[in-house]
Amino acid sequence: MPENRIKDKPYGTYSIYSALKAGLCVACPRCGGMGLVTVQDGRYRFQCSRCGRGEDKVLCGFRYRVQNLCQSCGRFYNVPLYDRRQQTYPVLRVPCPYCGFVMPGRVERTGQSVWYGGDGMLRRGQDPIFGFDLWFRTGFDGKPVWALNREHLAYLIGYLSAGLREKPPANPGLRTQADMLPTFMKTAKHRERLVKKLQKLQQKY
């Protein structure tokens, strides 16, 4: 049995949402030091820990979704609603994304609105709220590689350097954290070089 094995984390363990609670690490546009982006009550805050620069941002807009425990397959699901008309109903019948079973669910509104720039900015290694470069950010064959914060960085290094990777036992069929990684990061021949680059980032203060 290989000694160096790792159990992957559930999907979304390290996400922009979870990182914003503890602090998303970004580079201060004024001094280049490390700052944190956090969110509280819908208000986003950037605070540089080196020069003290601070910035606030309120993003308006809400997200709508139907959450349910599927009566047919037993899975918990979350269906986002983008259609404005659908968003006005208190209850809506939507199909389960796993098995297609249709049942009514309450339409919920969440304040954690918007990544307007969203995924595209994250893909380039920038925070989607202020557009600052992520602090833990490097390049690999011309592609940006980044971590949201120190915990996420440690996870990536652990995952990529493990000899054997397992899915969490509770949900072998469901997506896991590593499913969020682009293919080039998971390619076996890249892993060693990637881990070295990520370890270099760990030394950044």
Where does this chain bind Zn ion (CB under 5 A)? 28, 30-31, 33, 48, 50-51, 53, 70, 72-73, 96, 98-99, 101
In the complex with Zn ion, the residue whose CB is nearer, 134 or 145, is: 134
- The full length of the chain comes to 205
Rounded Cα distance, 26 and 15, in Å: 15
- In this complex, which beta carbon is closest to Zn ion, that of residue 30 or of residue 197? 30
Q: Which is nearer to Zn ion, 13 or 47 (CB)?
A: 47
Residue 70 near residue 101, CB atoms below 8 Å: yes
Q: Shortest approach of Zn ion to residue 114 CB, angstroms? A: 26
* Shortest distance (Å) from residue 73 CB to Zn ion: 3
We find the least distance from the C-beta atom of residue 199 to Zn ion, in angstroms, to be 25
Q: At its nearest, how many Å lie between Zn ion and the CB of residue 30? A: 5
2 versus 173: smaller Cβ distance to Zn ion: 173
For 94, 102, 111, 161, 197, the CA distances from 202, given in Å and listed in that order, are 44, 47, 33, 15, 9
For β-strands 136-140 and 143-147, DSSP reports them as: antiparallel
Cα 134 from Cα 11, distance rounded (Å):
21
